[in-house]
Structure formats: structure tokens, C-alpha cells
Structure 1
């Protein structure tokens, strides 16, 4: 299977990361999964959820092995399972409901009390005024209601008088305002009872109780022998797991039966762990349940599983098999009544134009400047293939239409620039839409509009975003807009990769301008765009996504030649930028300006109807006003060189992840198309009812054949739907 390992990586010793997995734990889990013969991809999910979604859609796993705890809030453990459910991906462990309930200690106790489960007396407190403690027996322990891993539990958590309780509750609420639990302290042994649903035993997967044994040397000066946060994090070597627990067979059986009831009542799946306190009188009390237990090496679940002959790999395999059985992964045609969706490797067509003529630095030769080098194409191929997909090369030449029509493809990763004309970038996407093949990037309309810089500026200006004033010139003889003031910028209206943008593109007189316009019209066979030169800082912003695009941290192009009066990000700069410009990624911006730039980029993206990916250029004048310069919805992807790649690197995103995020929405559209097709293939409900009635002999007028039955139900002539390949 293709498995995604979702986790939060612990990067510090801060308490807020106490429940996260260490690199050692992640490596151990990954190693076990790979040794079991599965293909694995690691997903650290602490960043934006949109990035996790995009990466999961790109990888398209058969199963998610989930250990992610979430970062904040009372429902943090439930967040990722809820997200997986929404995306339709199977995952290990309990669902969002069970995780939300079990993280709430007080709610768990209320539910279990109705099923006769013995727990210490308690009181839940959200405000100090609610504290009565009149029915509690001292001493009591004060602990956060919505935390695990012994967070907030220390020797100072135990109170012996009402005044001490008030003081400790006040202190705890200041740190954990969601609520605290005041619970009777039960002296005795700490037991933990693990659960592996796939283990076939008399207790429905509940394993033998194990015992936490604390080194006496570590308890010197401690009044209460509790497994607190300090022991769990700083002195964990002083605690060992005894398996089986040193308790009588009768007590072990009672505890396992109690745990069996708890796991069933709370609907825990695949794995779990329950903590009990065995009193000095030998009476077991339920303390709490962890439906997302630690799987770090040495955890109690492994010690207990070894008693059943399961070592680390066996434990991980049992979790995977339990989830696979629940989701019926082998029966991929239907999952819990949902439409079919393809997981695993896809056939990804790769449409491109290969650069065979190398551009010259003086721009005398730039005919294939927008095309991609063989090295860039190979990097993209490898990045797509690294997500487990099959890559099918499709060079965008005159043979492409017939090749597309005869090649089975799931999706297409498109970077093709097209052949000629201001609609050239839309040519390949238009063919793909004709053939109903999902593809990456914007649709033909957006690609055509964005390539025409004048048309793009009109649309962006209507959205309330500043653009420099401009006009088009076809010959250089047209009357110049009387509102213009020099310097003015002149460039081809429908070219990318800074083609036609050179040092002399900034004109300081009308004579210079008309000469440059003539050169552009002659060389590029298209009008020249004349626009006001904005002489301030230059930024470029990358965006990823669809309706609500993710705006990456902007990059600033810093011009290093201070003697250059009117610098421009030219064709020469892009070919040889050493010592001439510097890329600050991310740009050094004060928060207010950063937010304005992000808003302008997002507004431009949405106004132009961009999709999946785009890079948008801005200039800022001396008054701090931001001006839209142009949008590139088909940006370059050369590793370590293209602007979007540098922007992504500045945002902490490697090249492989960038390609995956661009690809992810197209894969999602592919799956939506497949779901629609599957739904269209289902016969109408009326037909099914008539068919069932016929099989039971309930219809008097039995039609002669199936075609007649369909035409009768639909009220029309018989038809045969053509097969869509």
C-alpha cells in the first residue's frame, strides 16, 4: 500500500510540543512501515492545513497512518481525522468524534459513569467561583482537562486543603483557561492497558496491563509517587515498564474487562491506551483514556504486545491491518458507500516545449527563451515520479493533438508555452478540455488574458488594484498619451520571461520610445505596451491553490548598481544576475506593507481567474503605492533559478513539494470527474425499482428487453451511451 505518515515533529522541549513525536519516533515508525513492504511518504503537518491537503492530494495514499496531535484547541486531536474524512482518505485510529470526546476528561468520565466504570470523584472547573470541593476527599490533584502526556501535572498539583485547591486552581486556569479537573488523588500503582483491535483474544484486542515502575532514587524528596510531566519528559530514563504488571490474575482480568467496556463505549478504533490507578486496597480506578497513544520506542503498548508475541513491526502491522479491514481497502470499488476514487499511482501526462536554441545575453536571440531546458524538464519529471506517479512525456508539437487522443491519461502536468500568437499558452489546455482530461494550471481564458498584458491590466484595474497608466502602439507613429511623463517603459504586450525587456526599454524621450516601439513591433510581430515607469522597489509574489489561494511570502528583486538611475528587471538580469541583483526571499517588509502586498496579489489572482499556481509582479512607488505589473499563470520551474522556485525556497518549501502542490488540485479535479462518471453510470432509482419488481414477478407487463425498460422509465427512445475512454 501507499501509506502517508502524518505527524507533528517535536522541535523543542517546550510543553506545547510535549505530545509531538520526536525524530527518533518518526524514524522508527517509518522504518517499520517500510519493512512491512509499504511505500511510505512522511507528512509533517504542523504548517498550514492547505499545504497538508495539497500534499496528500498529490500523493493520493491508500491509507494514512496518523499520529498527528494537532496544535491548539479542545478539538486539536480531532482536526486531522475530520480533514481526512472530508478528503475521503482512509486513516488509522479513532475518528474525530472519539478523539474529541476522549481528550475531554470530564466528558469521558460522565459517559463512563453511566456504564458503571469506577473513577475517582471529581469536579470540573472553568471559573474559580464554580469550585466547591465539598464532596471531594482530600488530597486532590488539579490537572488540565484537555491535555495529555501529563502536561500540567507536577508535585505541586496535589492539594491537601481547600485553600490550597483554590490557589492551585487559580494558577492552573491562568495557564489552561479551557478548564481544569479537580480529582481525588488515589494512592497506589499506575497501570496502563493498551488496545490493538487486530489482536484476536478474549478481550476484543485489549492487551495485558503493564505497570510503570519509578526508580526510587528519582522519588527522593517527592511526597507523592506520581508519573508527572517532569518524569515523563526530563527523567524518563528513571521510569520503566513492567510487563506484565505485578498484580493478581483476578485483578488483571477485572482491569481488562473494564478496559474492554471503555473502548467499546467510546468507540475507539485500531489502537488506544487506558490509564488506571490501582489503589492500595487493590481497587482499580479509571483515570483517563488516550485514543491517540504514543508509539515512541519503549512505550507500554510495545511491552504489552510482546506478551502476545508482537514486536514493533507486528504492532504497526496490526494497526495498519485493522484500518485496512475497516475501510475494505482491498475492495477499492466502494468505500463505505462512497463513489469510486482512484488512489495510488496515476498516469500523469507531461506537456512541455523543450529549449533547443539557447538565448543570448544581448537578447538578439530569444525565440525559445520561454521554453524549458532538458535539465528543468528532467527535474519536473523526477519530482512528479517521486510522488509515485507514472510520467508520460508529451512534447507540445504539431503531433500533440493525435498523441493526446490516443494516450490513456489520468491528469496532465502542463508547462507548455504553445506555438504562436497571444493565445499560444491556452492551446494545450484547450485541447485537454476538449478531451476532458484534467490538467494543472489556469484554464485557456485566463492564460490568454494574462499573456496580453494590456488586457490583464484592464481587468485588474477594475478590481480596484493600481496599475501604471498605459497605451498600445502598433507602429511607433501613434500619438502618445498626453498624460504620460517620462521615463516610460516599453515592452512586448504578449511575451513572458522578460523577452523584449532590456536596459533601453526605459525610455527618457519620445524619440527613444518610438524607436524601441518600432524594434519590438518588427521583432515580435505584436504591439508594444507603453506604460509609466514606476521607480520604486520591485516584488514578485507566488500563489498556490484555487478559490482561496495560498499566498507565499513575497520576494524582492534588489538592484545592486546604485548608479543605475532607472533599474528594470531585464532579460539580461534573468540570464546573468550575479553581482547585478539580489533576491530577498522572503522580502524584508513591515507587517502593514506585507499585508497590502498579499491582498493585492490575491485580488489580482482572483480577478484574472487564475488556478493552481501563478506569480504576480508588483512595483511600489515613492509614496508606498503598489502597482500591478503583470501576472504569469505559467511561471518558470527551473530548480534554484526560477523566481517561483526561489520564492518557495524562501517559504521553506522544497522543489518536490512545490511540484506536488501545483499538481494536487488537478488530481482533486480528476477524482471529482471520476466520481461524477461513477454516479452517471448508476441506473436511475425508478429503473432499479422496476428491475427489482420484475425479478420478484411484481410487474404485469414485463418488457421484452432491457432497452424497453430503460426507455419506458426515462420517457424516451432507447439509447446506448458511448463509452468514454
Structure 2
């Protein structure tokens, strides 16, 4: 699709430009739109409208992605949508009417109050002589009626007496002569409720409430808990977004239903943001709505969208999808129906499972780890940006039940796969198996290796046959089975047999008696619905090794996980460590080890990789006993790729490899396999070995042969013989 991005660029820190987009925001939006496969042109609209009109008509976009705020007047946000309507261009966001209405705070409140929406009491004032404040409860807050981004709101905006109100209104009218709002100040805290119309949820696209948390140090000396202009612009680093807001579930539901009704009454489209104030008594009040909300990185809309499984590009795509559906735009260059590319940038499918449930654990037990192996929207965003940075178009493929249909109808060149699947010990192989069925090249190991490596017991059997040491191990299904004879001494360690990301591995996984062990086995078998793996506890140093490549994998320098808590008698790299490793462990990447040990680890890692049939990427974990012997613990052929956090990423950093390069290294073998597949197809189509010539050369040959035939024609009116075209 041809998309025009219209915006006002912020060139100064003046309050006049507070609602404009920074260059960072513009670049972020432009990058996301281009990564989604659209052709983009940027339109900074602060100059003469005639120039904008001329450029838009020349470019003739399919859709305008609009963030332009306008420069002046009570209808400034409505100006550009009204212009787009007049020119006949489709655009994102609400129309001119809704934008003019929502910029007028008092008119919005007036309309909503007729529909039973609870708002603080208010009075709109254009002239000081109009101020009465008779029916208002003090304290009150004085704010500009036609401004956003907390413009004109400071700690000094709150008045506690009528005399203070008159003084503050007089000052405010000097600066904002269009009118001010005198509103009852609700003691409590602020909530923001974002809206994305394309999100399919129970609230018609209204997302979960989020709240802005102010650093306690920044709150010192501030009498009123308000998110004012200073915090929003000059001290933005003192404010963080909490998603979801820390409120009861019933209140969250009530606020979302209220927001749903407000959006319907005001006819807001595609996206928006609604601000509420929750009183100390727990009563929510509507404050205002922004139908043209900020899309700057870190905005609350992204935090709320993460709870729905959307990363940044997903948010932008949802806005485009909503506007496209509303304007009935049919993208002639949509992915469906296009043939696979033979050269140039590739269409890279990106298969994943998105983490919507945040994992948690206490010191002894796991509270929530159902989606621990899935990837957060932030990680997904980082990966897709890295793929796109190599010049490829990225196509999201969330591994849901609809994926088979999506794959069969979406032409793809190659797939970057990090999907974990749904359930069972073969879950990691589900997506690769589908891709093999459809003959689509993909990154990473094949289904056999993924199934084998996920089952820790089977993986140990295979690497043992390759001559690599593993701890002695045994499987238990109920906890009542006889303990193997080789387990003569404790401690032993118990873990789920087919889980990753240290799921089920906690402090109490290290057992010091048979009774303790059987209790843990029962707990694991019940919680994870799979056998428990019992193995010797190897009490020495812990290492993890990353490998990249295929037949001759590159072994990256090992990383050591150093346990810092000396009170832990027999430490394990547990689920708790992965949630919060501060002050508990240290990552040495590369590990500080002597050459002999380095060579042992490299050899064991390479041999394990080859024995299990790994491909493209893997991370293999080892423990060393007090005699210096290296033991294989497990292999992860689908390792985490969270920037600055996942083990493989830290290993790569220690080897001097940045994140973009790491993603490129993983992708490179799959692209080679794609090219080999294309060569085989060409050979099958042209068994003589002569590939189909490019179209422009065919045309050139036709023209040459036609010219030769015409030159040899016997007479002007005698038709020339048809040239024989050779393949």
C-alpha cells in the first residue's frame, strides 16, 4: 500500500510544539510502516497547506497515516482530516468532527454527561466576569480547555479558595484566551485507557487501563499528585508506565465499559486514549479524551497493547487495518496472491508465540510459568526490526490454530521460526513440520531434532552414545517408582522432562532425601502433566555454549553462570534466577577459563550439536564436577533471543557480535537453503539445464528477430514471415 505519513515535527522545547512529534517518533512510525511492507512517503505539514495538497496529489497515497496536530486555533486537530476528506484521501484516525469535539474539553463533558458518564463538576470560562464557581467543590484545578499534553497544567494550577481561582483563571486566560476549564480536583490517581479499534476483545478494542507511576524522588515537594506538564516534558524519565494498572478487576472492567460507551457516543475511530481519575474512595471519573494520541516510543498505548500480544509494529498495523477496513481499501499489493520472489529482498515469515501472561515465582515455588517459553512483544519487535534491517519484508505468523490456513494462503520465501508450539513433547516441532509440508525453508533445527532435544532423557541417551558424559538419570511418572541403584548418594535434582526456560526448576528441585524427592516428583508430574527427570546433581561450575551454522557449526566462546549467593549450598540456574538475577548470579561472557577447559567445552558442544542433528543455532548447557569432567545437561535448539537478557544474546555480545548480526547469522543458512530450493525448481522446470531467461532479454530477442525478419521482407506490402522464437 502507498502510505503518506503526515505529522508536525517538533523543532524546539517550546510549549507551542509540545504535542508535535519528535524526529525519533517519526522515524519509529516510518520504520514500522515500511517493515509492514508498505511504500512510505513522509509529509511534514507545518508549512503552507497548498504545499501539502500539491505533494499529496502528486503522491496519490492509498492511505494517509495521520498524526498532524495543526498549529493554531480551536479546530487545529480537525484541519488536516477535513482537508483529506475534501481531497478524497483515506486516512487513519477520527474525522474532523470528532477531533474538533474532543479537543473541546467542556463540550465533550457536556455531551457525555447527557449519557450518564461521571465527570468532575466544572465551569467553562471565556471571560473572568463569567466565573462564579458557586456549585464547585474545592479544591479545583484550572486548565486550558483546548490543549493537550498537559499544557498549562502545573502544581500551581490547583486552587483551594475562590480568591485563588480568580487569580489563576485571570493568568490562564492571558495565555489561553480561547477559554479555560475550572474543574473539581479529585484526590486520587490517574488512569489511562488506550483504544485500538482493530483489537478483537470483549470491549470493542478498549485496552486494559494503565497508570503512570511517578518516581518517589520526583514527587517530593509536590503537593498534588497530578501528571503535569513538567513531568510530561522536562522530567519524563521520572515517570514509568505500569500495565495493567494496579486496580481491582471489577474497577478495570467498569472503566473499560465506560470508555467503550464514550467512544461510541463521540464516534472515535481507529485509535484513542481516555484519561480517568480514580478518587481515594475508588470511584472513577472521566477527565478527557485524546482522539489523536501520542504514538511516541514508550507511550501507554504500547504498554496496554502488549497485554493483548501486540508489539509496536502490531499497534501500527492495527491502526492501518482499522482505517483500511473502514475506507474499504483493497491493497492491490497485498501479500496474498503475489508470487514468491526470485531475487532481491525476501518475504520473511516470522513465526512466534507471544507472551501475554507475565511469569512469576517466589523463593521456593513457581506461581506462574505457563507462557515462560513464549516471547514478549518487546522481544518480537527487536527480532522483526533486526530481520527488516537486512532489507527483508517481515510477515507476522503467530502460531495459533489459524496458522495452517495462513501459511497455505501467504506466499513466503523463508520463515524465521521461534515458535514454541502449544502442548506435548513435540510442540516445538509443530511449526517446522507444517513448513516442511509446504516446502517453505525456515531457520533452525528440523522437527526430529526439536522433538528429541525437548525430551531431556532422550537427548541424554543420544549424546551418551556419542561419547559425551551426562549425569545418571531416571524418569518417574508417579513418584512411587523404585529409585535406580546408581543413585546411592544425595543430593539429586528433579525437573520436568520436556520443558525449557528452566520451567519447574526452583530451589527445592535439589533434593536431599528420598521422601523429599518423591514429593517434588508428584508436584512436577501434577503441574506439568509429564514425567519428572531425576538426575545426579553435578556440583561444580556451570557453562553454556552457543553455536551457529550447519555442517561445521561455529562455536562461540562459552559463558559461565557464576552463583554469587554463598548461602546456597547447591545452587541451580533456576526459574527464579531467570526472572531476577540481580545480585544472585553473574554472567561471565566469555568465561574466564584456561585453554584446556575451553577446548573441552568446545569439543563437547560441537559433538553434542552434531549428535542431536542441530542446525543453524543452538545453546548447550554443561556442568563441571570437582574432577574437571564436563557433563552435558541439556540442549536448546530454539534458544531465547531477548536483547540484553537471553543467554545466547549475552554469549554473542561477549564474542563481539551485535544483535543485528546474530539474527543475520541465524537467518543466513535458511536463505542459502531457499536459494538451493529455487535452483532445484528451476532445474526441474528446465531439465536441459537452461534456465528461463529474464523477461527483458526475451523481449530484446523478440525485437531483434522481428527487426531481422522485417529487413529481409521481399516487399513493403508483403507480410514478413513470423520469426521462430527459441526457448
TM-score of the superposed pair, with normalisation by structure 2: 0.47
TM-score of the superposed pair, with normalisation by structure 1: 0.47
State the structure with bigger RCO (CA 8 A, min sep 6), 1 or 2.
Answer: 1
